Amino acid sequence: MRVETAVMSDFESLVGLSAEVENLFGPMVNEASFHTALKEAIANKMVFCVRDTLNTLKGGIAISKEANAILWFVVAELYRGQGIGSHLLRAAISRLDSEKEIVVQTFDKTVQAGLAARTLYLNTGFVDVRDGGKNPAGIPTVIMHLINDILTNRCHCVAFQGSIKSNPIADSVKIRNPGRYGNH
């Protein structure tokens, strides 16, 4: 499975993937601010994807190097449970600064629909560090953190100190992460 940098011709497919998770994150498909932010992230080579043999997108992930954060993450329903989310997450983490905490906002532990996402993040070494409030769909979220311990080459987490800096994708989607629907 190969993770590739998304290109502008992937935009419509990425928006299509967003439609699969709007019920969990709130409006994206018809939101001009989301479209603008996604196009900017694609142009800045901050969106990555996995494709099938027919070039159809199986999933995508957007990051912010400035915030050292995973901002948006979705796997198409048809392809969930096949390890695509794990590949996308590893690729995203490898492009972020491993000497600093890596931040993600996802569903909190009370959200059944977010169980697969939480499991993926926890298995990768992320831990809950603080309440993330409710996302635009009204679903409770949590901020999770990952930091790479260079001396032991193990990932572990530390308490989140500070806030995520302003970023177009994060601002437009409130750093939504699709939980079960995006992290397999």
62 neighbors 38 (Cβ within 8 angstroms): yes
Q: What is the pLDDT of residues 19-46, one digit of tens each?
A: 999 988 889 999 999 999 999 999 999 9
Tell me how long the chain is: 184
pLDDT of the residue at 103: 96
Helices (H), the chain: 11-19, 22-25, 32-43, 84-94, 115-124, 168-173
Q: What is the pLDDT of residues 143-160, one digit of tens each?
A: 999 966 532 344 443 333
The sign of the dihedral angle between the CA atoms of 173, 63, 141, 116 is positive
Tokens in use for 104? 């993600």
Category of 181 on φ-ψ map: left (φ > 0), alpha (ψ -120 to 50) or beta = alpha
| Mean pLDDT within 86-108 | 94
131's CB contacts (< 8 A; 6+ apart) are 108, 140, 141, 142, 143
pLDDT of the residue at 181: 31
Strands (E), 52-134: 57-64, 69-75, 102-107, 127-134
Residue identified by tokens 């939480």 is: 118
Residue identified by tokens 């995006």 is: 182
pLDDT of the residue at 149: 52
- Looking at the DSSP bridge assignments, the partners of residue 133 are 141
Return the higher-pLDDT residue of 78 and 174: 78
108's CB contacts (< 8 A; 6+ apart) are 114, 128, 131, 132, 140, 141, 142
Q: What is the largest CA-CA distance in the chain?
A: 46
pTM over 0.85? The answer is no
